[in-house]
Amino acid sequence: MLDAVLAELGEHGYDGLTMEAVAARAGVHRATVYRRWDDVGGLLADVLDAAGDDAWQPPDTGSLTGDLAALNHEIQDALTAQPPIMAALIAASFRSEKAAHAQRRLWEDRYVRCEIVVSRAVRRGELPPHTDARRLLIASTAPLYHQLVLLRTPPDPHLPDDAARTAALAAAAGAFAESPPASGT
């Protein structure tokens, strides 16, 4: 069923995604789909939740810059894949509250999994202790989302490496140090 949702989403986007089309593609009666899911948002939420049930782990290239660049290449590949499933899921999260919640759960899972990239870099001496992993990961990946999703520019083959290098240099200089807890006055 979820494969049918992905196929329909990739071909027709969120606006063309219907319970009836998913049922037809999956080869089941539409009542079966409606019995399990109330609406398209529920279908999308399950697709996003299923994406978090994988065994994916961030790459380990032996360097922070290499790890961030490898992550960025994965992101660029996913954002530019045809059919454009990842972009369609991002767009759908703005139209469906269920999909938005599922998307937040997926991102939270991915950030937690990627914390190891920063931990390894700290152990190797590439980063200062107490580097904020999430802020570093966002800084490294944000240029890809900005260019490919917001500006909808063609993929730049140099951008994943350039963004990774810039974020790694900033992090090594302490730009993403965790803020000390606020003291009570």
Average pLDDT along the chain: 91
Tens of pLDDT along 147-180?
Answer: 999 999 999 999 999 999 999 999 999 999 987 6
Give dist(CA 41, CA 98) in Å, integer.
5
Provide the whole-model pTM: 0.86
Tens of pLDDT along 6-48?
Answer: 888 888 888 888 999 999 999 999 999 989 988 888 888 888 8
Question: According to the model, what pLDDT value does residue 54 have?
Answer: 87
131 close to 162: Cβ distance less than 8 angstroms = no
Question: According to the model, what pLDDT value does residue 4 have?
Answer: 92
